[in-house]
A and B are shown apart, each in its own frame.
Chain A
Amino acid sequence: MAQLLLYGVIYGGIISLGAIGVTLIARILRFSHFAHGDMMALGAYFALFFRVTMGLPMWVSAVLAVGFTAAAAVLIDRLFYRPLRRTSPAILLIASVGVALVVRHLIQFFWGAAVQVYQQGVERPYIIWGLRIRPVQVWILVMAVVLVAGVWLFLQKTRIGKAMRAMADNMDLAAVSGIDTERMIVWTWVLGAALAAAAGIMLGLDTQLRPGMGWFMLLPVFAAAILGGLGNPYGAIAGGMIIGLSQELSTLVFNTAYKPAVSFVLMVLLLLLRPQGLFGGKV
């Protein structure tokens, strides 16, 4: 039980990082970014390239991968989303499905469909208070906490963070207050994609990499964002934790194979009972 809680927190942290990006994009760019899961996978595979192909240390690879993924997101925005921005959110959503498809299969094209790992071999888990935790999971846990705290500080304290929240709150008001909306959109992509990449790398460290990993993360990530009230980054963090924990705890009752369905069921229940999300929609 306590073991499952621990795994739930780790998984929840990963989901939270993805959900923050989804929620910010949903609020600031006004569309559901369905390619977000595949941006996570892209980050994971960039790190694989630097780690395994280039032979760089893991942390250098991770930092480089985060940078490359953010750049890729800005590029994709320029190429596809920006020209469509004046149309409807519906068209943007379909475009993001198209981007998801292209990104996922470009990954498969360059890296192959087989399962891959950053590091071969089995790690000896630490045993703390009877809980098994692998060294890499300690790292994931620490990084998730640091990143979530970092995002919180970024949104609370920096000019860019405040401007982002202002835009999320009221786009027109933000624009007349002199906030450069196009520039903030670029920042939103950088932040969202960087966190997605970090989440993807953590997932790759915790388990393994495969081209479809992003697709399987899409549902929990969106469920977390919706649970937290789409548009609320703090809600997304809480939503991620709830989804992570309930997916792991569900294995006590249901077949493990149904883990991915848990987030879906939770989401539907929430939409029925409290469609504005657990924490409302304000930032």
Chain B
Amino acid sequence: MDWSGIVGYGLFFLTYGGIYAISALGLNVQWGYTGLFNIGVGGFFLVGAYTSAIVTKGPDFSHLGGFGQPFLMGVLSGGAMAALLALLIGIPTLRLRGDYLAIATIGIAETLRLVVTNEQRLTAGVWGIGGIPKPMLSTFGDAYNVFYAALVLLAMLLVYFAIERGIRSPWGRVLKAIREDEAVAQAVGKNVFRFKLQALVLGAFFMGVAGALFAHFVGYISPEAFEPMNATFLVWVMLIVGGSGNSKGAMLGAFVIWAIWSGTEFVAAALPPSFGPRAHALRIVLIGLLLMVMLLVRPQGVLGEERQVSKLVRADRGQRPSAAEG
């Protein structure tokens, strides 16, 4: 058996799974905790990828560049650009019904795809940006994919702990209150608009970071890589299947769906080539049906949301078990 092939694929799987998990964690802040529709995940991912590529590359006359900043700087500016975009899109839409945000995020994602395809001087258009620097490539050499997988998983854990901390704080409770009932949150004096904007921006930041990590891993990005299917819907299915409102669920969903998605690719590859494009369509139908079945059968996802009850309530329950079911 070809062990190195399996290990190589395993690392590849972990890296992609981790990148998707960071996106799904970002979406969980927006949708899972706050109830904000963002159907333009791919747009924020794209901005992160392109920003980081442009910021870190040396001079290249085919597109904007020549800043030559370090990797970390690139990833952070990728996240920051995505966050800025979320701010711009959130201000006009977050005071309105949730559907408006949804359609606006689709709009921004599609517009961005048009921009990167057509603004040659900025992004080299359909040719794409190649030669995106890989951090510490010379240090790790052959073991580079081990290093990068570890780096991505570390970033994922950092994002996870940051979100967990935030969500268990008073800030996180306000987000959930907004999700459950905006009017009540408003009535107790919370600035609902402001909290929603923060959740949207924070989630978008993580998506931008995920995009940047993706760009540095593959080394080459073009508008084609950011089709709405891969960049947006897959992340949604990951979150819904894993369990929205649960960060562990978001990560679990990311790896499970990525396993299904890339597993079906093996099956499709084994079929005769004439069946190729159809098999691709069928894979997506499968993912879509999975989403529908999940919504119908188990809308809370595999893990579901963790209950968080105040210690005081728990103590109260211990004394009066009869009142616990209220």
- By a beta-carbon cutoff of 8 Å, the part of chain A in contact with chain B is 26, 31-32, 34, 80, 83-84, 87, 89-91, 93-95, 97-99, 101-102, 105-106, 108-109, 112-113, 211, 215, 218-219, 222-223, 226, 230, 255, 257-258, 260-261, 263-265, 267-268, 271-272, 275
Contacts and interface: CB of A to CB of B under 8 A. Distances in A.
Interface in B88-132: 89, 92-93, 95-96, 98-100, 102-104, 106-108, 110-111, 114, 117-118
Please classify the interface of chain A as helix (H, G, I), strand (E, B), loop, or mixed, using the class held by over half of its residues: helix
B299 A91 contact: yes
Contact of B100 (A31, A106, A263, A271): A271
B155 interface: no
Contacts of B236: 94, 97
A268 B107 contact: yes
B123 to A, nearest CB: 13
Contact of A93 (B37, B107, B228, B282): B37
Given A101-B284, A271-B96, A271-B100, A258 B114 contact: yes
Interface residues on B, range: 35 or more
28 contacts: A32-B99, A83-B296, A89-B98, A89-B99, A93-B37, A93-B99, A93-B102, A95-B292, A97-B236, A98-B291, A101-B285, A105-B281, A108-B277, A108-B278, A108-B281, A109-B285, A112-B277, A215-B228, A218-B106, A219-B103, A258-B114, A258-B118, A261-B110, A261-B114, A264-B107, A264-B108, A264-B110, A268-B92
A25 to B, nearest CB: 11
* 8 tightest Cβ-Cβ pairs between the two chains A and B: A264-B107, A101-B288, A102-B288, A108-B281, A32-B99, A109-B281, A98-B291, A105-B281
Interface in B277-295: 277-278, 280-282, 284-285, 287-289, 291-292, 295
Contacts of B226: none
Contacts of B114: 257-258, 260-261
A257 B281 contact: no
Contacts of A97: 39, 233, 236
B91 to A, nearest CB: 8
A148 B284 CA distance: 35
A32 B37 CA distance: 12
Contacts of A223: 103, 107
Contact of A257 (B99, B118, B287): B118
A48 B288 CA distance: 25
Contacts of A93: 37, 98-99, 102
B233 A113 contact: no
A109 B296 contact: no
Given A219-B107, A226-B100, A258-B118, A94 B281 contact: no
Interface of B: 35, 37, 39, 89, 92-93, 95-96, 98-100, 102-104, 106-108, 110-111, 114, 117-118, 228-229, 233, 236, 240, 277-278, 280-282, 284-285, 287-289, 291-292, 295-296, 299
Contact of B118 (A102, A106, A255, A268): A255
B145 to A, nearest CB: 31
Please classify the interface of chain B as helix (H, G, I), strand (E, B), loop, or mixed, using the class held by over half of its residues: helix
A12 B104 CA distance: 20
Contact of A275 (B95, B108, B240, B288): B95
Given A113-B277, A219-B110, A258-B114, A34 B102 contact: yes
Nearest to B232: A97
A98 B278 contact: no
Contacts of B99: 26, 31-32, 89, 93, 230
Contact of A87 (B100, B104, B118, B299): B299
Contacts of B291: 94, 98, 101
Contacts of A226: 100, 103
A106 B39 contact: no
A105 B285 contact: yes
Contacts of B288: 98-99, 101-102, 105
B276 to A, nearest CB: 10
Nearest to A87: B299
B292 A109 contact: no
Contact of A95 (B37, B93, B118, B295): B295
Contacts of A261: 107, 110-111, 114
A253 to B, nearest CB: 15
A96 to B, nearest CB: 10
A163 to B, nearest CB: 24
A267 B102 contact: no
A95 B37 CA distance: 13
